[in-house]
């Protein structure tokens, strides 16, 4: 558990995840952080393929990996975790 209150979000920007949904998820996450005033307290980064493409699109929040992240479940993942 973080003592600083800072969450870390990693989004896979490898070609498989990116083309299968993370291009849209990237925008949705940015918008969510912006709308909820969270930009300053979240460390949001992209990373390259983590070789779990078959389970993608993949994002990771505070060491928890989420697989099959889509436009329909991204908001509930963010709301539950942040």
From 9, 11, 56, 69, residue interacting with ligand FES (rule: CB under 6 A):
56
HEC sequence for 22-50:
HHHHHHHHHHHHHHCCCHHHEEEEEECCC
Per-residue binding letters, 15-44, with ligand FES (x by CB under 6 A): xxx---------------------------
Listed ranges 23-31, 32-40, 50-58, 74-82: which one lies at the site for ligand FES (CB under 6 A)? 50-58
At its nearest, how many Å lie between ligand FES and the CB of residue 6? Answer: 24
CA dihedral (22, 24, 28, 34) positive or negative: positive
């Amino acid at each position: 558990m973080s003592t600083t209150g800072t969450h870390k979000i990693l989004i896979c920007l490898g070609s498989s995840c990116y083309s299968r949904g993370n291009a849209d998820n990237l925008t949705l996450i940015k918008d969510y952080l912006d709308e909820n005033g969270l930009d300053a307290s979240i460390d949001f980064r992209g990373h390259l393929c983590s070789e779990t493409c078959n389970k993608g699109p993949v994002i990771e929040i505070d060491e928890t990996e989420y697989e099959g992240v889509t436009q329909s479940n991204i908001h509930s993942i963010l709301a539950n975790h942040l």
